[in-house]
Amino acid sequence: MSVNPELRKLDIDIPSQPQALLQLSLLLADDDINLQAAAALIEGDMALAAAVMKAVNSSLYGLKGRVQSVHQAITYLGMREVAAITFEMGLRAAFPPAPELDPIWGRAAWRGQVMSRLAQALGLDAWGAHSAGLFEECGKAVLFRHAPDHYRAMLRAAPDDLALVELERTGFGVSHDALGAALCESWGLGLPAVASVRHHVLAQAHRELPPPPAKRSICALSVLAHLVEIEAEDAEQAATAIAEQAELSPEPVLRALRRALEQRASAEARQPA
């Protein structure tokens, strides 16, 4: 997909999608996914395969014994999970490593998982939700690569993302949510995921979803994940309002939210002091 011509005028480079991820997207679009082909595709990119294997064998997944191949990882974790890890590693590899970006990638991995679980609980597009969560802050990486010193100062100065987008528009003429949506478009993500990335800052800050309703479901999950992340005191009240805007039944939304909050609390309790 082409990038918005207005963004091209700003001379801010948006990285192109790695060929392996493009081909993997095509495989995932098939209801009957060819697991052998998917594994071979990932293993064909040595750097990507190494990153995926390192992630799969980390303590995060708690697998018994060491996984020796991508196909074995798919057997243990499932294709969607391995695909999500692959996209995460591919996205990170598109940008130079920097300490300032590490928190962004950490939040991306967590948010992608939470949004995917919420989507599964609500019968929504889990893969689209995971992708939207993973790419939500990728526009920050684009701006950091474009002007690291300038953007580093912005990250330090902004108390939250709502303030950050104002600094970005003043300094660069564009904000990270718009850039993130442009990257999602160029990498072939679905329209609801692109809309979620484009509108997530305002949606999370004001708890109002963008029109039309067809674009609201994944953005609703983004707001729910944000409520879990900040452990909002009024999380259930806010979730009920978001459910109504997204034309979702409030009861399943509240159950999914409570489960996500429980999982977060459990994960924090397991962390060493």
- Domain locations in the chain as residue ranges: 16-94, 98-273
May I ask the CATH class of domain 98-273? mainly alpha
Distance CA 127, CA 129 (A): 5
Residue with tokens 């207005």: 6
Confidence (pTM): 0.86
Beta-carbon contacts of 190 under 8 Å, excluding residues fewer than 6 positions away, are 125, 128, 131
Per residue of the chain (273 residues), what is the pLDDT tens digit?
Answer: 444 555 555 678 889 888 888 888 888 877 788 888 989 998 998 888 888 898 888 877 778 788 899 989 888 888 888 888 888 888 998 999 999 999 999 999 999 999 999 999 999 998 889 999 999 999 999 999 999 999 999 999 999 999 999 999 999 999 999 999 999 998 888 899 999 999 999 999 999 999 876 678 999 999 999 999 999 999 999 999 999 999 999 999 999 999 999 999 888 887 765
